[in-house]
Amino acid sequence: MHKMMVPLKRYTQFTGRASRSEYWWFQLFMMMFTVPLNVLGLIAGHINSTSLALVSSGLTVAVWLALALPLIAVTIRRLHDTDRSGWWLLLMLVPFAGLAVLVFMLLPSTPVDNRFGKPVPHV
């Protein structure tokens, strides 16, 4: 649980590096909230419950707004860990080009110091 919370504590830190595990644990943390809310929305649509759909949608938007900045920060730090500029994140705005960012998130860390700092120690 601690690894999931690190990006929340470092949500304004766009410098430095984030390990692969830090990034993916935060993705799991986000899914713990968004998947149940999406399922609730699907159920609301299936039973034609407008009020449940509104609550589900509102909560989903609130979660995404709360987690957007930490997600952007940890993604930029993860790009730094692969020795790439945070500007690569803008590829997410281009259809299909965002897959390159996914590939970058899967790559191993640069094992030595790079222009963004020292490697993140494995805990």
pLDDT tens by residue, the chain, 123 residues: 677 888 999 999 999 999 999 999 999 999 999 999 989 888 888 888 888 888 889 999 999 999 999 999 999 999 999 999 999 999 999 999 999 999 999 999 999 999 999 998 875
Domain boundaries, the chain: 2-106
Tokens 């730094």 -> residue: 80
Is residue 78 within 8 Å of 109, Cβ to Cβ? no
Closest by CA to 117, choosing from 21, 17, 14, 23, is 17
Global pTM reads 0.89
Tell me the chain's radius of gyration from C-alpha atoms.
17
